């Protein structure tokens, strides 16, 4: 079934017209039909296979600077009109004017997943989970526990608004992860590896599954020998991939136009200014097909874009959704996203990555006499108004005399975005991406982050060792 078949064109036109009767300037209907399936393996037991379906619509009405929003699981014309009326309570001026809305041609994006949800045997999925467990356990006798998770989703969305936009998309995502616990003399340590893409089950090739399982197990075992991380300022080398979380936190959130327009970001008013070292060219790119943050169109019906945020250290542009762009009289950059039909869209990142630089990972490490090498980052948080952010290292090592040595226990690193961006002093060319989940105002969306191996001349390590 196409998303456009969820609700008929003429019904949507009447719902939009009804939403504008009280004086709204803009109205939008967002329809979503999402199926999900998840499976988890814990201690070689398939604990649970779960299937879910969520279907409904969100209606928003904009009057001046005010947005009214209501959502419903009732996709009948009556249900949608009720939601439209509820959303329109913010518009108090107009009373019962007659409005007609006619939608433009329907644009439908095609999904290219080879094995979307519903096409792979459940028994086959269980095989893959068990195989990951076998591989992880065979990596070392220290592995006492293995948990494997699989989540698949198939999300059909339709966006129609009073400007005539009428578009639909079908997004298929697959996420697989392996978590291991290793037991040693010093207690338990954990290892984690995700595999995730905006594709179907085909991403779980034998190689991908084996790499995730071995990687998670090795990480847990390695950390058994970990020493407390240092406390204080040191140079930090971030391995390619998950290090992109640094940019997601250090400046990504601060470059979202909602924070900019409220002057609640340290990057407000900095467009055109030098905000980072020359080595920093940062891009937010929803068009990278198959990546975890890939979108054909955003949740406001705008085609995803490749947007250069910082070029050679100079802030070039922010990320925009429909409302923030409208306020500035410009076009959205395709960054309007929402967790589900029950949420309002807001400015969100897609795939945010640093372009490659001239160095090699080997040289960067060799030219670091003493520091920390972070092989995997685990997430972070930022205060956009002050620019202070943290990010956690889930696998890290000391660098001594230009050589990677002792593994370190987990801890957070802390820094200030504008300061840390200036301290990027080496970037290599071994680019890779990592999938993640980004939370903002209670909404979770899939995002990608990426970079090549790079170095920060100094960051505060939040460990316990002197």
Q: Is 388 in the site for other proteins (CB under 8 A)?
A: yes
DSSP sequence for 371-432: EEEEEEEEEEEE-TTT-EEEEEEEEEEEEETTEEEEEE--EEEEEEHHHHHHTEEEEBS--E
Q: Is 381 in the site for other proteins (CB under 8 A)?
A: yes
Closest to other proteins by CB, 145 vs 277, is 145
Residues 5-64 that bind other proteins (CB under 8 A): 36, 39, 42-56, 64
Q: Is 411 in the site for other proteins (CB under 8 A)?
A: yes
CB 376 within 8 A of CB 393: yes
The CB-of-351 to other proteins minimum distance in angstroms stands at 20
Q: How many CB atoms lie within 10 A of CB 150?
A: 22
Burial 218-233 (b: 16+ CB within 10 A, else e): bbbbbbbebbebbeee
Residues 349-378 that bind other proteins (CB under 8 A): 377-378
Of 21, 3, 22, 306, nearest in space to 159 by CA? 3
The CB-of-100 to other proteins minimum distance in angstroms stands at 25
Q: Which stretch binds other proteins (CB under 8 A): 7-15, 203-211, 313-321, 455-463?
A: 455-463
Q: Is 392 in the site for other proteins (CB under 8 A)?
A: yes
Closest to other proteins by CB, 41 vs 135, is 41
Kindly tell me which residue out of 23, 68, 241, 345 binds other proteins, with binding defined by CB under 8 A: 68
Residues 77-116 that bind other proteins (CB under 8 A): 86-87, 89-90
The CB-of-97 to other proteins minimum distance in angstroms stands at 21
Closest to other proteins by CB, 113 vs 396, is 396
Q: Is 189 in the site for other proteins (CB under 8 A)?
A: yes
Question: In angstroms, rounded to a whole number, what is the distance separating the alpha carbons of residues 150 and 24?
Answer: 43
Closest to other proteins by CB, 252 vs 361, is 252
Q: Is 383 in the site for other proteins (CB under 8 A)?
A: yes
Question: In angstroms, rounded to a whole number, what is the distance separating the alpha carbons of residues 281 and 304?
Answer: 19
398 to each of 11, 134, 226, 388, 407, how far by Cα in Å?
62, 31, 10, 24, 6
Question: In angstroms, rounded to a whole number, what is the distance separating the alpha carbons of residues 74 and 54?
Answer: 11
Query: Long-range CB contacts (< 8 A, 24+ apart) of 153-156?
Result: 153/34, 153/35, 153/36, 153/37, 153/117, 154/34, 154/35, 154/36, 154/116, 154/117, 154/118, 155/32, 155/33, 155/34, 155/35, 156/1, 156/2, 156/3, 156/6, 156/32, 156/33, 156/34
Q: Is 415 in the site for other proteins (CB under 8 A)?
A: yes
Question: In angstroms, rounded to a whole number, what is the distance separating the alpha carbons of residues 109 and 432?
Answer: 27
The CB-of-434 to other proteins minimum distance in angstroms stands at 14
Residues facing residue 233 across a β-bridge: 460
Q: Is 123 in the site for other proteins (CB under 8 A)?
A: yes
Residues 220-239 that bind other proteins (CB under 8 A): 223, 229, 231-233
The CB-of-414 to other proteins minimum distance in angstroms stands at 5
Question: In angstroms, rounded to a whole number, what is the distance separating the alpha carbons of residues 245 and 76?
Answer: 42
Closest to other proteins by CB, 187 vs 329, is 187
Residues 271-330 that bind other proteins (CB under 8 A): none
Closest to other proteins by CB, 220 vs 304, is 220
Kindly tell me which residue out of 22, 27, 57, 72 binds other proteins, with binding defined by CB under 8 A: 72
Residues 134-163 that bind other proteins (CB under 8 A): 144-145
Closest to other proteins by CB, 211 vs 383, is 383
Kindly write out the interface string for residues 243-272 of this chain, putting x where it contacts other proteins by CB under 8 A and - elsewhere: -------------------xxx-x------
Question: In angstroms, rounded to a whole number, what is the distance separating the alpha carbons of residues 221 and 433?
Answer: 24
Closest to other proteins by CB, 177 vs 189, is 189
């Amino acid at each position: 079934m196409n998303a456009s078949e969820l609700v008929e064109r003429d019904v949507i036109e009447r719902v939009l017209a009804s939403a504008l009767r009280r004086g709204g300037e803009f109205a939008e209907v967002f329809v979503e039909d999402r199926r999900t399936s998840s499976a988890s393996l814990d201690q070689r037991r398939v604990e649970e296979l779960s299937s879910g379906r969520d279907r409904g619509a969100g209606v928003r009405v904009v009057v001046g600077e005010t947005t009214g929003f209501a959502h419903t699981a009732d996709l009948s014309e009556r249900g949608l009109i009720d939601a439209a009326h509820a959303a329109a309570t913010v518009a108090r001026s107009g009373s019962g004017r007659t409005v007609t809305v006619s939608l433009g041609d329907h644009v439908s994006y095609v999904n290219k997943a080879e094995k979307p949800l519903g096409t792979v045997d459940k028994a086959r999925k269980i095989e893959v989970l068990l195989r990951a467990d076998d591989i992880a356990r065979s990596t070392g006798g220290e592995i006492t526990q293995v948990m494997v998770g699989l989540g698949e989703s198939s999300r059909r969305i339709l966006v129609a608004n009073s400007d005539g936009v009428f578009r639909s998309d079908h997004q298929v995502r697959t996420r697989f992860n392996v978590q291991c616990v290793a037991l040693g003399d010093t207690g338990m340590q954990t290892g984690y590896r995700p595999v995730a893409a905006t594709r179907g089950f085909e991403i779980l090739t034998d190689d991908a599954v084996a790499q995730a399982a071995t990687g998670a197990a090795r990480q847990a075992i390695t950390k058994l020998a970990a020493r407390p991380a240092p406390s204080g300022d040191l140079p930090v080398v971030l391995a390619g991939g998950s290090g992109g979380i640094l940019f997601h936190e250090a400046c990504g959130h601060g470059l979202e136009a909602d924070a900019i327009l409220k002057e609640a970001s340290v990057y407000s008013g900095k467009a055109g200014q030098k905000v980072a070292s020359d080595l920093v060219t940062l891009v937010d790119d929803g068009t990278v097909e198959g990546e975890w943050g890939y979108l054909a169109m955003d949740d406001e019906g705008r085609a995803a874009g490749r947007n250069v945020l910082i070029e050679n250290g100079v802030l070039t542009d922010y990320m925009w959704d429909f409302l923030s762009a409208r306020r500035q009289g410009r076009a959205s950059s395709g960054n309007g996203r929402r967790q589900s039909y029950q949420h309002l869209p807001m400015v969100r990142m897609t795939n945010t990555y640093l372009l490659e630089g001239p160095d090699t990972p080997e040289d960067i490490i060799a030219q670091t006499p003493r520091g920390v090498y972070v092989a995997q980052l685990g997430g972070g948080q930022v205060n956009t108004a002050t620019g202070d952010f943290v990010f956690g290292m889930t696998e890290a090592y000391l660098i001594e005399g230009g050589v990677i040595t002792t593994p370190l226990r987990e801890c957070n690193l802390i820094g200030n975005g504008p300061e840390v961006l200036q301290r990027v002093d080496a970037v290599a060319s071994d680019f890779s991406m990592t999938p993640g989940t980004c939370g903002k105002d209670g909404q979770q969306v899939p995002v990608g982050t990426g970079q090549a191996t790079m170095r920060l001349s100094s960051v505060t390590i939040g460990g316990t060792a002197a």
